[in-house]
A and B are shown apart, each in its own frame.
Chain A
Amino acid sequence: LAKTTQPISMDSYEGQEVNITCSHNNIATNDYITWYQQFPSQGPRFIIQGYKTKVTNEVASLFIPADRKSSTLSLPRVSLSDTAVYYCLVGDVSGAGSYQLTFGKGTKLSVIP
């Protein structure tokens, strides 16, 4: 199973770059890495997805080393509105062909003025 491990919480000041790392030692060859953002009492929202190296969109960047056993979500110049829980998700395709998805417990990011 491709279980993920993330820091429970992080604090950052406004305007700083924030990097959140996720470990997924048992990631399978075909698995992608996906990150979500969740505000209190709202459903998670897709941020970014990647397979290897680096992916960038208007919201964030995702860095994946060659061994793919970890990934780092990078948020440039955070603002107070980036205060949320961030989840790293790795696909979990069992040998029986199930397509269960497993979220970790997420990282609670608090942005300080």
Chain B
Amino acid sequence: EAQVTQNPRYLITVTGKKLTVTCSQNMNHEYMSWYRQDPGLGLRQIYYSMNVEVTDKGDVPEGYKVSRKEKRNFPLILESPSPNQTSLYFCASSKSYGGPDQETQYFGPGTRLLVL
């Protein structure tokens, strides 16, 4: 089954404790991205990757890191989480970048993060 998976689905942590949220897709997609969703603010893009070893900042990259060492995986790293990073996070992938393919995205189920 074609899908985007994220782990963990729920996470409670404390300020400053490094964490990684994994994202994996099995569709051989080139483009992957991370979003956060907060009440009243909609979906905001954090980082995106056009292909292996190619990443770029989205709208709200501060406090986050990403890497794309393999095509299928795109982990989101919070080196020193803070309470303002409490949010619902979504990973997404699309067949390629640019044009209609990029805008046809498959989203993961989400990771709900609480930073105390």
Contacts and interface: CB of A to CB of B under 8 A. Distances in A.
B105 A46 contact: yes
B104 A99 contact: no
Contacts of B98: 91, 93, 99
B42 A104 contact: yes
B45 A87 contact: no
A99 B55 CA distance: 10
Contacts of B56: 98-100
Interface stretch (B12-20, B70-78, B107-115): B107-115
A110 interface: no
Contacts of A98: 56
Contacts of A10: none
Contact of A42 (B4, B103, B104, B110): B110
Interface string B25-66: 000000101010000111111001010000010110000000
Say what secondary structure dominates the interface of chain A.
strand
Interface of B: 4, 31, 33, 35, 40-45, 48, 50, 56, 58-59, 88, 90, 92, 97-100, 102-110, 112
Given A46-B104, A101-B103, 19 more contacts: A32-B103, A36-B105, A41-B110, A41-B112, A42-B109, A43-B92, A43-B109, A44-B105, A49-B104, A51-B100, A87-B43, A100-B59, A101-B33, A101-B45, A101-B102, A101-B105, A102-B59, A105-B41, A106-B42
11 contacts: A36-B105, A42-B110, A43-B90, A43-B107, A44-B107, A49-B100, A87-B42, A93-B98, A98-B56, A101-B48, A105-B40
